[in-house]
Amino acid sequence: MSEAALATAPAEFAPWEDAQATPLIRFQNVTKRFGDFTAIDNLTIDIFEKEFFALLGPSGCGKTTMMRMLAGFETQTEGTILIDGQDVAPIPPNKRAVNMMFQSYALFPHLSVAENIAFGLKRDKLPKDQVAARVDEMLNLVQLDKFASRKPHQISGGQRQRVALARSLAKAPKLLLLDEPLGALDKKLRQDTQFELMDIQEKTGTTFVIVTHDQEEAMTVASRIAVMDHGKIIQVDTPAKIYEEPGSVYVADFIGDVNLIEGTVTTSGDDHATISWAEGQQDLIGIAHDEIPAGTRATLAIRPEKVNIATERPADMTNIIHGKVMDIAYLGNMSTYVIETPTGQHIKAQAANTRRIRRRAITWDQDVWLSFTDTAGVVLTS
Amino acid sequence: MRRLSWFNTVSLTLGFAFLYIPMIILIIYSFNGGKLVTVWSGFSTKWYGELFRNEAFLDAAWVTLKVAVMSSTVATVLGTMAAYVMVRAGRFHGRTLFSGMIYAPLVMPEVITGLSLLLLFIAIGLDRGVLTIVLAHTTFSMCYVSVVVSSRLVTFDQSLEEAALDLGCTGFEAFRLVTLPIIAPAVISGWLLAFTLSLDDLVIASFTSGPSSTTLPIKIFSAVRLGVSPEINALSTIMISLVAIGVIAASLTSKRAIAKRAKDEQEAI
């Protein structure tokens, strides 16, 4: 497959930065209301070919509605949805080159694994030998050759998930929608399957749109993530950008663990802002791409793993916070320390346990200094 | 196995005695040699022989069977369609009214249903016969079918139908290829229910039957009015055995199916 080669170069794969690129999916001012409830609120977004696009948000944020509109099970109240330049509003689900993998897998219980995969191909009235060949190819792709004649209740949850994937890919759709595809799997299997999904996405070159509420899953598989809340997209960016440079307190808090330090901006400019946040503590500096007027209330978001913890005051760090160890959570590979500042704020720091627990120097009620660089945190005003 | 306490034993015995003693007496007397129903005069199967030589009974049995098969089949089709619309079509105008109306015949006294159908048939000039009984039975048994099928449809995972649509089915294909095979057990039990309802209906059939179309319940009822004959005991015994065989077979099949499924699922993990 020559298309696959293109998709395997993730470093250069960034069509959203190319002004010339035409998107595969285009939501233009789309609003969807169910009675009085607004599920999608004037939403505009472009999704490009071969992307692995994640819609991430808490339940009820509208992510599933977006997916169901793409599949054709819901119609928008206002706005237009274009797939491949075509307005899809009048096209029923069975006429769209879009397939969906359902959260419950929705495997047909009365049909065998092979018949499930063949189901969509038979609807296209393909000749028998072509159907059989494609089914074999799909079984091979998801490594279920040996289970072709089993019924869905005769295979395990992980295998069912792969059958559902094979069935939705069998018709070689332009766009594959995945609705919480790994929700029903246990953690270990979920991680393995995430890599498998990425692998299959690269191999087939299909555009994937995944709906999930699991931020780790979105971070692992997606080329871009849209963080949603209350029918609006809060931020669309690559996983790294979303994690390192969240655009708002909501995104920072939603993705991963974060310390949110509130304060007032004293100076700003040159991609940085300084906030004063507590009496007796020195001001903190973080990234701020836009200039923020002095005196504005702002929040410094800093990830615990970027905070250094030491028993002595570090000499050459810009940001230093003094406090007392209040809690230590030992997680095996790392420990999380909760530090209480003299003004009563709690700040978390994480450190890898490179030494055995007995040798570690930090203990409860000890005076410690936290420090981080001036590019470790971001200053957010919303 | 647990031993039952004396109280439980007594309750169990009384309950089952209450249910089954009449039938057991009937079965015993069907093998009575004498002509008197209430006086035992030796074991004999001669009334079974008599029964099978009685043309009138055989005719009535044949009519009953025809009516039951036809009416339950039509009722199953109509009842399933009604159930599907009630469960799936969402909130359309008049849905509450319709769903109430579909269940109304369940609680309507049979005499009234029978009478109103009789009036209708006379009004439109339809001669009473097998056709009118079939129509009448369809009318009341489709409600039962619709109740059974809609209770299954309520728990039916709608994403299965959406998956079928997503994979290129039209709405009707999705129903035929996915929904129907999955709800088939409920549809079949709806059919069986309609079938047995039609088999033992006396009231509605007596309103809507014609001279050439006497069903078995009507025949038995009118025969008993002239005095219970041992032949009727024999006929009833046959019916009891057929029903018993049917019920036992059905429960064994479903028990096996459940056991097989459990075993398969165990092996899958």
Each domain of chain B, given as residue ranges in start order, spans 52-227
Considering A249, A279, A310, which residue would you say is the last residue of a domain? A249
Chain B residues 159-218 within an 8 A CB cutoff of chain A: 159-160, 162-170, 173, 177-178, 181-182
Is residue A206 domain-shared with residue A280, that is, in the same domain? no
Write phi, then psi, for A274 (nearest 5 degrees): -115, 135
Considering A249, A269, A290, which residue would you say is the last residue of a domain? A249
Strand partners, A372: A319
Q: Which pLDDT band, with edges at 50, 70 and 90, does A4 fall under? A: very low
Domain of residue A304 covers 258-380
CATH number at residue A362: 2.40.50.140
Which H, E and C letters describe chain B, residue by residue? CCCCCHHHHHHHHHHHHHHHHHHHHHHHHHCECCCCCCCCCCECCHHHHHHHHCHHHHHHHHHHHHHHHHHHHHHHHHHHHHHHHHHHCCCCCCHHHHHHHHHHHHHCCHHHHHHHHHHHHHHCCCCCCHHHHHHHHHHHHHHHHHHHHHHHHHCCCHHHHHHHHHCCCCHHHHHHHHHHHHHHHHHHHHHHHHHHHHHHCCHHHHHHCCCCCCCHHHHHHHHHHCCCCHHHHHHHHHHHHHHHHHHHHHHHHHHHHHHHHHHHHHHHC
Considering A249, A268, A288, which residue would you say is the last residue of a domain? A249
A151: contact with B, CB 8 A cutoff? yes
Q: Kindly identify which residue of chain B lies nearest to residue A71, measuring between CA atoms.
A: B166
Residue B162 has its nearest CB partner, among A73, A154, A155, at A73
DSSP SS3 for A268: strand
Give tens-digit pLDDT for A163-197: 999 999 999 999 999 998 888 788 888 888 888 88
A224 pLDDT above the threshold of 90: yes
Question: Measured between alpha carbons, how far is A213 from A371 in angstroms, rounded to an integer?
Answer: 32
Question: Which residues of chain B lie closer than 8 angstroms to A147, CB-CB?
Answer: none
Q: Write out the two tokens for A89.
A: 């509003």
Determine, yes or no, domain membership for A92. yes
pLDDT of residue A6: 47
Name every residue whose Cβ is closer than 8 Å to that of residue B119 and which is 6 or more positions away in sequence. none
Strand partners, A297: A264
Determine, yes or no, domain membership for A218. yes
Check whether domain B52-227 has CATH 1.10.420.10, yes or no: no
B169 pLDDT above the threshold of 80: yes
| pTM: predicted TM-score of the whole model, two decimal places | 0.81
Determine, yes or no, domain membership for A132. no
Q: Which pLDDT band, with edges at 50, 70 and 90, does A5 fall under? A: very low
* % residues pLDDT > 90 (chain B): 50
Domain count, chain A: 2
Predicted ipTM? 0.82
Give tens-digit pLDDT for A265-314: 999 888 899 999 888 888 999 999 888 888 899 999 999 999 999 888 88
